Amino acid sequence: MGKSNRIRASRASVQARALGTPKKKKGMPSWLMTLITLVVTVAILLSVALSLLAANGVFNRIRTSVSSDNFRVNTNMMSYYFYNEYQSFTSDYSSYLNYGYFSLDTSASLKDQPFGGAKGTDATSSYMDANLVTDITNEEDLPETWFDYFMHRTVKTVSSMLLYCEEAHARNLELDEDELATIDANIDALSAAASGYGYTLNSYIAAMYGPGVSASDIRKAMEYSSLATKCMNALSEDLEAAITADRVNTAYNADKKSFNVVDYSAYIVTVNYEDIVIEILGEDYESIPDDKKETILRAYRDKITLHEGRTDKLKEVTSAEEFEKLVLEYAAEDAVENLYANQSIADNIKPSDEDITAIKTAMKAQLVADAVAGKTTTADAVTIEDETAETVTAYEKTVQTAYAKILNTIKGSAYKTVLSTKEALSQTKVPYTVGSDVSEWAFDEGRKVGDLTVIVSGDGEAEGGVPADLEEYTSTTISVYMLDAVQYADPTKSKNIAYILYETEDAALAAIAALRQNATLTFDIFEDYAHNNENAGHAELEDYVKGNLGSASFDTWLFADTTVVGTLTATPIKLDESTYCVAFYHADGAENWYVNVKTSILNDDYEAYYDAMEGKYAITVKEKALDKIDA
């Protein structure tokens, strides 16, 4: 390259360097650059690690939500308890949620949903949220969100559980192998459910009970719950064993009214203002015209007056038999007249008005006579032997065959109403209810058999009848009571039973078939079968009083006339959609009055013991940890 060319090239290089890159200053030490890179890398890795730890529930497993001296509920366990509370609520109140009675949206975050409030912009139309909170009287203390509501319930449940766990610790109570095996079976059931949905066990648990919750968290939570239950049962047995017969008798004699029962006959009728409006204006009315208001009010009062007249006649009777007969006459009168009025009867087949009146009167008398006699059905009003005959005889009157068939329909339907009235008429073994007008009357010490009282409530309660200036009319109820038996101790024997629960009807049927293989079924054989064959649970109920289990179908079986000592259920009793009961009634228990007094004492003792536990064992709740639960 010539000299000139080398010079041009050199200048070009200098110019390019001057234009394209600034003059290099003293640079950052390489060791510092390496250190910064390292720090950033570690920070990124640490962030990822922390995220993974949070997702795996490590932090919430470290956090304590509720604790006592010897037991700690971490936040993952609390999440499990929380979601159990939530799922139980949505199951119990599913119909309320479907109809929009609560503001809860199960598809949205609970923390973002205000608790309570009005629907839309109509401040007079409110949700029923506030009705759920029975332990808060100050409206300002109501939960702010649905998360707060469910957490409030969960904290109460868990705090109570820890009290029993502490008591169990003090009593040296521990879970035995069978109880631990039950927990294992519950975890296995979760695992099976997870597999059925294509999940791993922990991913399924996290989806059900919150992010980070694992099988180990649930196992620990179940152990606490089981230990608390074991302690509750032990405490109940101890307290019950300490209740002597002398103590029961002393408590009964000190407050007989609270444990006694009465028998009375009752005639109760309600006149609804809305029904009168519909009768006059029809179902499609939008509002009541001013020129119809007086007519409607008069009709409302007239209907009440009709029943007041009936009440006056009831006041004249002197026995329960007379009371029943007169009430059944009222029922037959209303049923026949209403059913007849609702029939479409062609004029050409109607008998004379005089004959119609005679036929109705005879039919009503026969309905009452059959009901008093205790007949379950009533004969046809007319026996039609020849369908082709033009006329037949009905209650000594000659009527068209087509008309006779209508009479048969009316009589059959009317008798159902009369029987229903008879069934509701006699009220036996009625307990005392605080604040009830009829209870205060019936349980008065000076009361005697045959005494009668009339109680009027609603619009007609005011002296002089229904006022003409009410802003809104609703209804009037007239109740007439005749005392059939003054207060007494219910001598009915309670029942001792045992039962086994199954998740399917087929499993329950198989158990019944197996138990029936025994020539003589005893309590010991039943219990042995329950312990040695797979089932969803079993229990014994001593001194069972009707209604205590809360299952009408169970009580229907147990208290049927055909159910005697030694009876096994012939078919499974369905308690709910997935629970079938096989029960065995093996002995009579104590008399009902004795059971009720003893139960009252046990409840008082239990409450006192619980109060003592609250004073003895400290429970600590950490609100910040509760807020970490994802919901």
Average pLDDT over residues 438-447: 96
Q: What is the pLDDT of residue 50?
A: 37
| Structural domain includes residue 623 | no
* Residue 27 pLDDT: 54
Q: What are the tens digits of pLDDT across the range 559-599?
A: 999 999 999 999 999 998 889 999 999 999 999 999 999 99
**What gap in Å lies between CA 176 and CA 169, rounded to an integer?**
14
Is 574 found in the same domain as 434? no
Residues 415 and 464 in one domain: yes
Beta bridge partners of 126: 118
pLDDT at position 49 is 39
* pLDDT number for residue 120: 60
Task: Quote the CA–CA distance of 101 and 107 in Å, as a whole number.
Answer: 16
The yes-or-no verdict on residue 376 having pLDDT over 60 is: yes
Do 89 and 109 share a domain, yes or no? yes
pLDDT of 32: 53
Same domain, 151 and 233: yes
Show the 3-state SS of 136-198: CCCHHHCCCEHHHHHHHHHHHHHHHHHHHHHHHHHCCCCCCHHHHHHHHHHHHHHHHHHHHCC
Residue 44 banded pLDDT, cuts 50, 70, 90: very low
Residues 199 and 173 in one domain: yes
Which of 135-144, 221-230, 482-491 is predicted least confidently?
135-144
Residues 539 and 463 occupy one common structural domain: no
Residues 234 and 253: their CA atoms lie apart, in Å, by: 29
* Token pair listed for 458: 């609603």
Q: Say whether both 484 and 498 belong to one domain.
A: no
**35: pLDDT confidence band, cut at 50, 70 and 90?**
low
pLDDT reading at 604 higher than 80: yes
CB 124 within 8 A of CB 130: no
C-alpha–C-alpha distance, residues 225 and 219, integer Å: 10
Whether 540 is covered by a domain: the verdict is yes
615: tokens are 């004073």
Residue 212 pLDDT > 50: yes
Residue 308 has pLDDT above 70, yes or no: yes
Look at residues 431, 466, 488 and tell me which one is the last residue of a structural domain.
Answer: 488
Residue 481 has pLDDT above 80, yes or no: yes
In which residue are the tokens 């597999």 written?
195
In a domain, 511, yes or no: yes
Token couple for 98? 């479907």
Q: In this structure, are 192 and 282 located in the same domain?
A: no
Distance CA 575, CA 573 (A): 6
pLDDT of residue 130: 82
Residue 376 is assigned to a structural domain of this protein = yes
**Residue 333: which region, alpha, beta or left (left: phi > 0; alpha: psi -120 to 50)?**
alpha
Q: Are residues 211 and 165 in the same domain?
A: yes
Task: Give yes or no for a contact between 133 and 102, defined as CB atoms under 8 angstroms apart.
Answer: no
**% the chain with pLDDT above 90:** 74
Contact 208, 187 (CB under 8 A): no
Where is the domain boundary, 241, 275, 291? 241
Residue 13 banded pLDDT, cuts 50, 70, 90: very low
pLDDT confidence tier of residue 137, bands split at 50, 70 and 90 = low
Task: Give residues with Cβ within 8 angstroms of 243, minimum separation 6.
Answer: 598, 601, 602, 605
Domain boundary among 472, 488, 504: 488
* Local structure of residue 430 (DSSP, 8 states): E
pLDDT for residue 3: 35
Rounded to whole angstroms, the Cα distance separating 361 from 459 reads: 33
44 lies in some domain: no
Average pLDDT of span 530-543: 91
Given a contact cutoff of 8 angstroms between Cβ atoms, the answer to whether 167 and 621 are in contact is no
Q: With bands split at pLDDT 50, 70 and 90, how would you rate the model's confidence at 48?
A: very low
For residue 148, is it within any domain? yes
Q: How many domains does the chain have?
A: 3
Biggest CA–CA distance in the chain, Å, is 151
Residue 601 buriedness (CB in 10 A; 0-12 / 13-18 / 19+): buried
Same domain, 412 and 440: yes
CATH label of the domain that carries residue 581: 3.10.50
The DSSP output letter for 570 is S
- The answer to whether residue 391 is domain-embedded is yes
| 409 and 293 together in one domain | yes
Length of the chain: 631
How far apart CA 469 and CA 609 sit, in angstroms, is 55
Give the Cα separation of 500 and 536 in Å (integer): 7
Could you give phi then psi for residue 544, rounded to 5 degrees? Answer: -75, 130
In a domain, 348, yes or no: yes
Give the pair of three-digit tokens for residue 599: 């139960």
Residue 36 has pLDDT above 60, yes or no: no
Please report the sign of the dihedral spanned by the C-alpha atoms of residue 200, residue 201, residue 202, residue 208. positive
How far is residue 583's CA from residue 496's CA, in Å, rounded to a whole number? 11
Would you say residue 45 has pLDDT above 50? no
Residues 451 and 427 in one domain: yes
Q: Which domain holds residue 500?
A: 493-601
C-alpha 392/C-alpha 387 separation (Å) is 10
